[in-house]
Amino acid sequence: MKLLEDRIRKDGTIRGTEVLKVDRFLNHQMDIALINEIGKEFYRLFGDCGVNKILTIEASGIGIACITAQSFGVPVIFAKKNKTKNIAGDVYTSKVASFTHGKVYDIIVSKEFLGPDDRVLLIDDFLANGSALQGLINLVRDSGATLVGAGICVEKAFQPGGDLIRGMGVRVESLARVKCMDEATNTIEFCD
């Protein structure tokens, strides 16, 4: 999606060779006009798949998922990062290794909101090593729902998550795929 690539070039900040900051427009300050276009693009890609729920993970996926859900006319569920040790039996749970904080945490979704009749689209801001998506995929599989695919704003294609998740047979659509980037030279290249 050229609009997103251009915005990343203009307002993104590269940290080393691994981390891209998009705080100016996507996951801290949020440019709603841009995210509206992102939501419409996800709808163009997945609009004919019978999606009836959008699932994301707190925190930075929530805003993007909500705006995307307006195009689909469906509810958003966000997996919560569980802070207590006791996980009640009425939730689906999975583990996620945080890319940005280096910790492993549990995510939960109430069984009330996901079940075998659902057709689920996953939405997230970034795909790096694939742990966040894998955690969400586990929740969907445990619930018996059908996984339609994953819509990602920025995939860092030089990290293993994209191959890993596609290798599981999941349809992944990323709107900007970063081939490589370097803070020292302030360069970023996107996949064709």
Binding site for ligand 5GP (CB under 6 A): 19-22, 27, 60, 99-100, 124-132, 161
Strand-pair partners of 187 = 182
**In the complex, minimum distance from the CB of residue 58 to ligand 5GP, in angstroms, rounded to a whole number:** 9
Q: Is 33 annotated as a binding residue?
A: no
The DSSP 8-state label assigned to residue 115 in this structure reads -
Q: Is 83 annotated as a binding residue?
A: no
Q: 94: closest CA among 62, 122, 65, 53? A: 122
Nearer Cβ to ligand 5GP (43/99): 99
Q: Is 110 annotated as a binding residue?
A: no
The letter for the amino acid at 111 is K
**In the complex, minimum distance from the CB of residue 192 to ligand 5GP, in angstroms, rounded to a whole number:** 21
Nearer Cβ to ligand 5GP (9/144): 9
For the chain, the straight-line distance linking the first and the last C-alpha, in angstroms and rounded, comes to 11
116 burial via Cβ count (<10 Å: 0-12, 13-18, 19+): exposed
Q: Is 131 annotated as a binding residue?
A: yes
Q: Is 130 annotated as a binding residue?
A: yes
Nearer Cβ to ligand 5GP (69/127): 127
- β-strand pairing of 172-182 with 91-97: unpaired
Q: CB count, 10 Å around CB of 130?
A: 25
Nearer Cβ to ligand 5GP (27/71): 27
Residues making up the binding site for xanthine: 20, 27, 156
Residues making up the binding site: 20, 27, 128-132, 156
